[in-house]
Amino acid sequence: MGPGPITADPRVLRAMSAQLVGQFDPSMTAYMTETMALYRAVFRTTNQQTFLVDGTSRAGIEAALVSLIEPGDRVLVPIFGRFGHLLVEIAERCRAEVHTIEMPWGEVFEPETVERAVRAVSPKMLATVHGDTSTTMCQPLADIGRICRDNDVLFYCDATASLGGNTFELDAWGLDVATAGLQKCLGGPSGSAPISISPRAVDVINARKNVEAGIREHQDVAHGSRIASNYFDLAMIMDYWGDRRLNHHTEATTMLYAARECARLLVAEGIDRAVERHRRHGAAMLAGVRGLGLTVFGDVAHKMHNVVAVEIPTGLDGDAARAALLNDFGIEIGTSFGPLHGRVWRIGTMGHNARKEAVLLTLAALEQVLRAGNVPITAGGGVGAAQEVYAS
Amino acid sequence: MGPGPITADPRVLRAMSAQLVGQFDPSMTAYMTETMALYRAVFRTTNQQTFLVDGTSRAGIEAALVSLIEPGDRVLVPIFGRFGHLLVEIAERCRAEVHTIEMPWGEVFEPETVERAVRAVSPKMLATVHGDTSTTMCQPLADIGRICRDNDVLFYCDATASLGGNTFELDAWGLDVATAGLQKCLGGPSGSAPISISPRAVDVINARKNVEAGIREHQDVAHGSRIASNYFDLAMIMDYWGDRRLNHHTEATTMLYAARECARLLVAEGIDRAVERHRRHGAAMLAGVRGLGLTVFGDVAHKMHNVVAVEIPTGLDGDAARAALLNDFGIEIGTSFGPLHGRVWRIGTMGHNARKEAVLLTLAALEQVLRAGNVPITAGGGVGAAQEVYAS
């Protein structure tokens, strides 16, 4: 019940025990094509270039940034938590000229603030996180998308923590590239990074296409400045997922099975219904921790559905309480990073864990641990408040 | 039965259906530590820094190269197949000054040739492939290791195709860094890249340690030139696998289970016995294809145990024959790249496919396909010759 990685959906686990097939076996390439269509539904996009990057979530981020950014390009990053700092870090290593604006942890940006910065900086790209798990905040993106379009700025978003559990509209919000991971609301393991790329971003990337020696063919003329990473060279990776089937790498077969199954489950449930499920169980958890008498951190109106940050009660050893939850009740919750480390717990309700029994068991166990730690609590107040949400 | 990826060992598939645990759950970190020890046995090393890079085989290659190479460093790459070209490609993107020597496909280097080049170039690093699946050749490394030590050159090797099926001695041969993948002799899926790093290479990497913003702490002073990739920053990744447990990324849990199980099986069998098993089944397949009357490509004395390249008989449509094998018999074999595309088939005997029944069924099916293609063959000659190897 932490902020992710989470326990996987049992159906995803089962998919991962399937035997492997060859890289260019027609059934494998058919799975790849099917997976592309499934993630178009998940990202809410018509982007042809929607596929997987083989690695953890930050592999998707780095692939997007290193393929789009050329050294010296200006990049604007609005920071409202740890993962904004990560975007800065990666953009700097791509040798971008990085400009930042920052909000205190626990808040999000107003569109006007972003618009002023875009006008002042005139970046090639704006890169932001959608939901930053470090603070639980979810940045509204529709206005930022409009600002980026109006100012001809490429708009990248890291949707790892939010996708599948919160409304996300890649096309309607005017995003150019979004990336994610399986280990949050998608209910799978870390290790595969879904990505979707708009036609105009595809053009920027393909203007730098340099097919590697060893698999280069006659028609492959080198274009533009070579992308600094071979592994994350989206121009070649798109040709691996496309009709050409360029042999850039050997697709991580089992992780493809996992990513495909995560999206199949989400599409079968319906994206809107999955978001509503996360909203509902998130609301129950929020009411529950408040019902126990705990204080919630941050601007709750902008909280992601799937995670809540709770102030650790004064005088309680937060890590000892987490250890008791894990060792005595088999339930894991998280702390946070930087200024929030040791100050908040983060409790998730995402993917397969966005279930009534998971919420109620967590609240029941947390009550016991708080009581054992001599924290003044309302007995039964957590489960009771959550039950009221479920009954309404 | 292609050159990899291969069908996985059923025990590896089962391991991948295990439920996930949290990133810093004591059972997860214990698995990580256990996996490090297992891969020390597989690589034959005492290197503390032996762990997994989250991605396909070339993720391991790029992590090693980008973490060791600074822009302008001289790198020498002996090329004897496609994957030598890949090393050049990656080193160039790391902005190295790359020097190459080349052998015709199907041959390996004599140590004298390498030594002359090392003396002429004075590289910081020599990067080579051990077994290049594109040609099936296996480059002897012990002399090159001695040459590198004598000339104070860092020695990197890509052992993806060879590890577990051919003798590999990281420490005894004087290697500094080796990387691999699971989808060859280790009998698992693509998507995790074991790596091992010598203490002197660790020092080179840690001299460039720059912990990222967002998780940086007081003691983290920036060192040297920042590694160009965040994802492949081995200085931080070592701190994730080490006592500090720096939260660089969320380890790909299921792929860790897979990598751990692959190594457990290999260690339980005994590395020497696993190599001998690959030698035996590779010898049976080699005898078998010759027994059918086919011609083997390349310098067979330097062939990897686990794959054989067979000249496609004149007049036969090699791709149609491969399709018939796949569609009628459910057996996949490969063709190759560049100058060998359409000229040879590559037949593997690796991992779980290094089994008598897999070898004999493949030879029996191949005989039928060749006969249907009007290729003059010795009826029963393939299976018969393989059986003789097994009987000896």
Position B385 scores a pLDDT of 98
Cβ under 8 Å to B: A residues 246-275 = 247, 249-255, 258
CA distance A51 to chain B (A): 15
Q: CB–CB of A215 and B338 under 8 A?
A: yes
The answer to whether residues A244 and A286 belong to one domain is no
On whether the CB atoms of residues B307 and B161 are closer than 8 A, the answer is yes
User: Could you tell me the residue range of the domain that residue B69 belongs to?
Assistant: 10-267
Please tell me the least confidently modeled range out of A209-218, B196-205, B361-370: A209-218
Is residue B1 domain-resident?
A: no
Residue of A267, A19, A60 lying closest to A158 (CA atoms): A60
- Whether a cis peptide bond, with omega within 30° of 0, leads into B111 is no
For residues B337 and B296, the answer to whether their CB atoms sit within 8 Å is: no
Residues B323, B345: Cα–Cα separation, whole Å? 12
Burial B151-181 (b: 16+ CB within 10 A, else e): eebbbbbbbbbbbbbbbbebeebbbbbbbbb
Say if the ipTM goes beyond 0.85. Answer: yes
> What pLDDT does B214 receive?
80
Q: Are residues A92 and A226 in the same domain?
A: yes
Each residue's pLDDT tens digit, B86-114:
999 999 999 999 999 999 999 999 999 99
Residue A323's CATH number: 3.90.1150.10
Q: Average pLDDT for residues A206-214, to the nearest whole number?
A: 90
Report the chain B residue with the minimal C-alpha distance to residue A228. B93
Interface of A with B in 318-347 (CB under 8 A): 326, 332, 337-338
Q: Is the pLDDT reported for residue A322 higher than 90?
A: yes
How many domains, in total, are found in chain B? 2
Predicted pLDDT of residue A215 = 84
pLDDT band at A221 (very low <50, low <70, confident <90, very high): confident
- For strands A125-129 and A74-79, give the pairing: parallel
Question: Does residue A279 sit in the same domain as residue A318?
Answer: yes
A276 and A262: one domain? Answer: no
Report the alpha-carbon distance of residue B195 to residue B43 in Å, rounded: 9
What is the model's pLDDT at position A345? 97
| Cα–Cα distance, A158 to A195 (Å, whole number) | 9
- Whether A306 maps to a domain, the answer reads yes
Look up the CATH number of the domain holding residue A63.
3.40.640.10
B189 confidence band (pLDDT: 50, 70, 90): very high
pLDDT at B52: 98
Contact A86 B214 (CB under 8 A): yes
**Structural domain contains residue B263:** yes
Q: Does A135 touch chain B (CB under 8 A)?
A: no
pLDDT at position A339 is 87
**Predicted confidence (pLDDT) at residue B193 exceeds the cutoff of 90:** yes
Reported as a pLDDT band with limits 50, 70 and 90, residue A239 is very high
| Contacts across the A-B interface (CB distance below 8 Å) | 207
B47 domain residue, yes or no: yes
* pLDDT at B190 exceeding the cut of 90: yes
Q: Do A255 and B255 touch (CB under 8 A)?
A: yes
B57 contacts A250? CB cut-off 8 A? yes
pLDDT at B217 (0 to 100): 85
CA distance B277 to A67: 43
> Are B252 and A16 a contacting pair at CB < 8 A?
no
- Say if B178 falls within a structural domain: yes
Three-class DSSP category at B248:
coil
pLDDT of A103 strictly over 90: yes
Q: Is the pLDDT score of B152 beyond 90? A: yes
Predicted pLDDT of residue B213? 82
Q: Is position A5 within any domain?
A: no
Q: Would the pLDDT of A337 be above 90?
A: no
Strands of B130-223, DSSP E: 131-132, 137-138, 154-158, 177-179, 193-197
Domain membership of residue B229 (yes or no) is yes
pTM above 0.95, yes or no: yes
Query: Do A256 and A305 lie in a common domain?
Result: no
Q: For the stretch B301-318, what's the b/e string if a residue is b when 16 or more beta carbons lie within 10 angstroms of its beta carbon?
A: ebbbbbbbbbbbbeeeeb
Which of A240, A267, A294 corresponds to the end of one domain?
A: A267
The string of pLDDT tens digits covering residues A150-203 is 999 999 999 999 999 999 999 999 999 999 999 999 999 999 999 999 999 999
Confidence of residue B218 (pLDDT cuts 50, 70, 90): confident
Q: Note which residues in 48-87 of chain A have CB less than 8 A from chain B.
A: 54-59, 62, 66, 82-86
Report pLDDT digits (tens) over B7-50: 999 999 999 999 999 999 999 999 999 999 999 999 999 999 99
Same structural domain, A203 and A304: no
Locate the chain B residue with the closest alpha carbon to A96.
B228
d(CA B66, CA B231): 10
- CA of A230 vs chain B CAs: smallest distance (Å): 6
Q: Do residue A234 and residue A306 come from a single domain?
A: no
Scan for tokens 């899926």, then name that residue: B189
Is the confidence at residue B219, as pLDDT, over 90?
A: no
